[in-house]
Each structure stands twice: as structure tokens, then as C-alpha cells.
Amino acid sequence: MDPLVQVVTFELNNTQPADVTIDPVPYSPYDSFQEKIDKTCQKLIQLAYYRSHQKKLLIYAYYLGELLQGVPSPTERLLAT
């Protein structure tokens, strides 16, 4: 197994510390969809430079995935018309 995969797997399975704080979403619910995407991507880019922020990077990747999950694909948009 790749050593990097082993490190990430170990960190994700680590249950210490028990009092983990999760960063809130980087956008306001009143922001436009594009602003939400831009702010989340900006956070991802900022954190990508720091190896010690891998967990935060995963959190913001999750937030981006949540935003994109509700977006219909071009095929779905075409079929809806």
C-alpha cells in the first residue's frame, strides 16, 4: 500500500483527540451559488500549501462536494426542458 494512503488512513481512523472542532462553511447562506463555490475553492487552495492541514482540506472538499451535489448535470438540464 502507498505510504501516503497509509498515513491518511491512520489519521482518519485516529480517535484522539475526542474534542474535535470542525470549521464552519466558509460562505454565508445569502451568498450566490458562484460566491459559495469561489469561497470554498479559495479555502481549499489556501490549505493545499500546508501539509499539516490535511483534515481541514478534507472538510472543505466535503463542503465543495455538498455544493456540487445539488447541481444538475448538463444531461439532466437538457432532459428537464
Q: What pLDDT digit, counting tens, does each position of 32-64 carry?
A: 889 999 999 999 998 888 777 888 888 899 999
What's the distance, Cα to Cα, between the start and end of the chain in Å? 47
Q: What's the mean per-residue pLDDT of the chain?
A: 83
pLDDT at residue 81 above 70?
A: no
pTM of the predicted model, to two decimals? Answer: 0.66
Residue 27 sits at φ, ψ, to 5 deg, of -130, 165
Written as nine digits, the cell of 64 is 465543495
Query: Look-up: residue for cell 454565508?
Result: 28
Mean pLDDT, rounded, for 11-33: 81
The percentage of the chain sitting over the pLDDT mark of 70, rounded to a whole number, equals 90
Handedness of CA 67, 68, 69, 71 (dihedral sign): positive
pLDDT band at 8 (very low <50, low <70, confident <90, very high): confident
Residue 29 sits at φ, ψ, to 5 deg, of -65, -15
List the domain boundaries for the chain.
32-81
Written as nine digits, the cell of 5 is 494512503
The number of beta carbons lying within 10 Å of the beta carbon of residue 8 is 14
